[in-house]
Structure 1
């Protein structure tokens, strides 16, 4: 296949490109930075320089390539800028979808999140509603996700990957990431809120496998939704950080997500089935 990857140098894209190339696909990586051309080419892909907010540029780039499938991994998370990330989910996705329509692209795989669901007592399945009535600032993220998923659903064959909380190289949970910094400075308390984690290697692997998956959303998380009271002390210990304080309670939406659909229907098996082993591998 000829595959156009938007967000090709992000924490997932940089792992995804070599997987796609090794599988024999012709890969075109989109970047907004000319300085990253050599990096993309070093992974065996072709590079195209386009800013996701440049509508005409995206239309022209996708139209020139005319890929068989677009993989959308665009984010703006390195500086924890939720407003900019929501914007790229809304405007960047709209530009990619319109470019796909114009170029006759019938297949798209897109990154979403597995913590956008309404509150509930059990890990969320894909049938649970998105939390569209959430208050600010969470509403900003949910609006971006809802708009992204609605736009991507316009493509006849689409797979929406609802990723768990990403950890691993280059993420907030890496040694020098923003979460690690908070933990080292004892600014992040352990709560009862439940998170479903996902190693970035598993995120990239799922994006490649999704080329053969049926249309619709699917949770891509590890097997073990976990409260902060369990994972945060382990994480802090691996960072050699102080023991985190305990803060009772949680946000109502912190329920985790179920990966049963991905496992039972698609045969997806995470390389890191638990955050326990994944944290150790990532931080030692």
Structure 2
């Protein structure tokens, strides 16, 4: 059992000791990984970039280099780790905000095909819990369809959907000192901390935004 702390006090105890974190090298995943490890969890950090494996090892994770679109390889990797919990923090976003429009199709594919592959791998490995990221704002076209697919698929297996506001802070499209994004929004460090605190939530959809409090009231 992991103990999650803020300051000097224990704020939660979580049953999920072995966590397979897909998207561990991303802007949120790279913050989640050391928080989970500090809480006493064991983390397999998945990235598709061999160059980022060393970074994940430095954070204390067991690096797993795998492409989510390689369904067979993904299933093998998740089975080999045999996690209690699989966490989906995968996105396929461009480095620059001005390229977001051009990258919509790639991110929609991640939310559809990537999510389906990761769910299948988690089920094959016998994982007891599945947690996935979504967004707290409405989109249009293929982006909204992909969001709805992800959320429906995760809820269908009794999982947890975390709808994040737009991130701001170091490493995001809105770095420290820059103009804040429009609401709904959340500082990326706070998003990571609240994700860790929410690992034992009941199945449902939860909004993680700076104006949404921290009581994890389901939105559905």
TM range (shorter): 0.7 to 0.9
Alignment match, 1:153:
155
CA offsets, 1:13-36, max 9 Å, x none?
000000000000010000101111
Quote the offset at 1:214 in angstroms.
1.4
Question: In structure 1, the residue corresponding to 2:202 is in which secondary structure?
Answer: coil
- Which residue is equivalent to 2:36? 20
- Contact kept, 8 Å, 1:21 with 1:45, in 2: the verdict is yes
Please show how residues 217-256 of structure 1 align to structure 2 within 5 Å. Answer: 217-223=205-211
- Give the equivalent residue in structure 1 for 2:165: 164
Instruction: Indicate if the aligned counterparts of 2:112 and 2:149 stay in contact, CA closer than 8 A.
Output: yes
Q: Which runs of 4+ in 1 moved over 4 A?
A: none
In structure 2, how many angstroms separate the alpha carbons of the residues matched to 1:160 and 1:57? 25
TM-score of the two chains, using structure 2 as the length reference: 0.83
Contact 1:106/1:155, CA 8 A, preserved across alignment: no
Taking a change above 3 Å as real, the CA distance of residues 33 and 147 of structure 1, as seen in their structure-2 partners, is same
Match in the other structure for 1:208: 196
User: TM-score, normalization: structure 1?
Assistant: 0.65
Contact 2:198 2:216 (8 Å CA) reproduced: no
What is the rounded CA distance, in whole Å, between the counterparts of 2:182 and 2:172 in structure 1? Answer: 19
Query: Is the counterpart of residue 263 in structure 1 residue 215 in structure 2?
Result: yes
Contact persistence 2:130–2:154 (CA under 8 A): yes
Q: Is the 8 A contact 2:168 2:176 kept in 1?
A: no
The answer to whether 1:110 aligns with 2:129 is: no
CA shift, 1:155, in A, is 2.4
Query: Could you say which structure has the larger radius of gyration?
Result: 1
Q: Distance in 1 between matches of 2:29 and 2:151?
A: 19
Structure 2 CA distance, aligned partners of 1:213 and 1:174? 30
3-state SS of 1:27 partner: strand
Partner of 2:108: 86
Rounded to whole Å, the distance in 1 between the matches of 2:157 and 2:169 is 31
Pick which of 78-87 and 67-76 moved more: 78-87
CA-CA distance at 1:206 after TM superposition: 1.9
In angstroms, what is the RMSD of aligned CA positions?
Answer: 2.1
User: Could you tell me how far 1:154 is from its partner in structure 2?
Assistant: 2.8
Q: 1:173 Cα deviation (Å)?
A: 1.0
- How many residue pairs get matched? 195
- Looking at structure 2, the residues matched to 112 and 39 of structure 1 have their Cα atoms a distance apart, in angstroms, of 25
